Amino acid sequence: MELVSNADIISDLPDSILCHILSFLPTKLAATTSVLSKRWKSVWISVLAINFEDETFKDSNSFRKFVFSALFSLRDQKASIHSFTLKFGQSFRCFKQYEFNQILKYAMERGVENLNFDMSGKNRLITLPPRILSFKTLQVLKLSHIRMRDYDHVDLPHLKTLYLDRIYIISLDYLVKFLFGCPILEDLHKKKILYPSLVPVENLNALPNLVKVSICHDMDTLMTLVCKAKIMHVEKMSISRTRLTVFHNLTHMELSVHDKFCNKRCTRLLGILPHFPKLEHYIIQDCGNAENSCYNCWKHPITVPECISSRLKTCCIRGYRGTRHQFKFAKYIMQNANVLETMAIKSMCRVNFQKLLELSSITRGSTSFKLFD
């Protein structure tokens, strides 16, 4: 009979693998592994990912003590940091502005590449520490619930991905300066930015290397900045109010509509398409209800946008209810998209068989595309 070994297989793994495993845990939990055995005692202090979240601590003082002890006393001072997360919950107010600067200085000196500075749980705003603006090793930056004030210089030469959520700024000029301090930025995610004034659109240039952009509550100025993107996702777009420039590179667009009172302006679902001459993939989320759908006022456009006639390969309509106007919209796409490969109809309710049969019997501009529901 073969004996089953009781050996601790995990503890026999190399330090590099153990550190990688612990990097997926909050730093507090990773630190508790030091009590397992002598083998584990010093592993967590060399982990390349630091994740401080206060929600698992009983009070603010214990969290603060753990952060400073872990960084400045227990951790291997020679170890690099690739990922650094500092996230606060509702009740923690004991950190001072200079202490944030001290912590961020520590991370910067160890070559951090991915920084998540999330103050969304705090009742008071934290001013963006100026030190963040000169993290030359940063590739990914996530900022939440931060106040931006005036700063002289932004130098983020390797930043490729930027997430902004609930950013409060005195002037949009600061945001523009911030973005242009990221010369190779490729991926921009913007959820909510509060600002008192606009920058004149005609005075702005587009971000040169942007590939992907995700925007919640579109903003005219930001649309000008991101017009060189290839992929765009706009959540809660007010199509009746947004001013658009031409997106010459855009091939993939996903948008959800957020117009409470569309009236005839909601014809812009098709009317905006001349701004995207190379669009190949068009995904629409209907956020209206059955009586106030953004398709209910749609009218047949005078000319067919170039992207529909010669570029569009896939189209997806989410929230389809089979209303007369939604049917006309889908019919227009199917009849005029000459290179369409896939048409997907996603219903929020059960669309009866007869309505789907009507769609399938429409004369198509492309004889080869498939209709899915």
Tell me the pLDDT tens digit for each residue of 147-203. 887 777 889 999 999 999 988 887 777 888 889 999 999 999 988 887 765 555 556
- 249 within domain boundaries: yes
* Domains held by the chain: number: 1
Decide which of 88 and 316 is more confident.
316
pTM above 0.85, yes or no: no
Contacts of residue 136, defined as CB under 8 A and 6 or more positions apart, other chains included, come to 155, 156, 157, 158
- 362 within domain boundaries: yes
Asked whether the predicted pLDDT for residue 17 surpasses 70, the reply is yes
Q: Find the CATH number of the domain harbouring 338.
A: 3.80.10
- 169 within domain boundaries: no
Q: What is the pLDDT of residue 279?
A: 96
Alpha-carbon distance of 275 to 69, in angstroms, equals 54
Asked whether the predicted pLDDT for residue 85 surpasses 80, the reply is yes
Angle between helix axes 353-360 and 324-336 (nearest 10 degrees) is 30
Which domain, by its residues, includes 300?
230-373
Asked whether the predicted pLDDT for residue 358 surpasses 80, the reply is no
Note whether 70 and 107 are within 8 A (CB).
no
Instruction: Give the residue from 215, 217, 213, 174 showing the smallest Cα distance to 195.
Output: 174
Binning pLDDT at 50, 70 and 90, where does residue 209 land? Answer: very high
Asked whether the predicted pLDDT for residue 146 surpasses 60, the reply is yes
**High-pLDDT (> 90) share of the chain, %:** 26
- 352 within domain boundaries: yes
Note whether 280 and 252 are within 8 A (CB).
yes
Instruction: Give the residue from 247, 225, 228 showing the smallest Cα distance to 307.
Output: 247
Q: What is the pLDDT of residue 291?
A: 46
Q: What is the pLDDT of residue 142?
A: 95
Q: What is the pLDDT of residue 219?
A: 67
- 265 within domain boundaries: yes
Note whether 266 and 300 are within 8 A (CB).
no
- 301 within domain boundaries: yes
Binning pLDDT at 50, 70 and 90, where does residue 350 land? Answer: low
Note whether 245 and 275 are within 8 A (CB).
yes
Per-residue pLDDT, averaged over 15-42, amounts to 78
| DSSP letter (8 states) at residue 230 | S
Range from 50-64, 155-169, 314-328 that averages highest in pLDDT: 155-169
- 36 within domain boundaries: no
Binning pLDDT at 50, 70 and 90, where does residue 315 land? Answer: very high
Instruction: Give the residue from 88, 156, 96 showing the smallest Cα distance to 123.
Output: 88
**High-pLDDT (> 70) share of the chain, %:** 82
Alpha-carbon distance of 207 to 175, in angstroms, equals 12
Amino acid at 336: N
Note whether 81 and 111 are within 8 A (CB).
yes
Tokens of 27: 């730093």
Tokens of 26: 């909050």
Tokens of 21: 């495993």
H/E run at residue 190? strand 187-190
Per-residue pLDDT, averaged over 286-308, amounts to 65
Phi, psi for residue 20 in degrees, rounded to 5: -65, -40
Point out which residues pair with 163 in neighbouring strands.
Answer: 142, 189
Q: What is the pLDDT of residue 353?
A: 66
56 to each of 73, 79, 282, how far by Cα in Å? 21, 25, 43
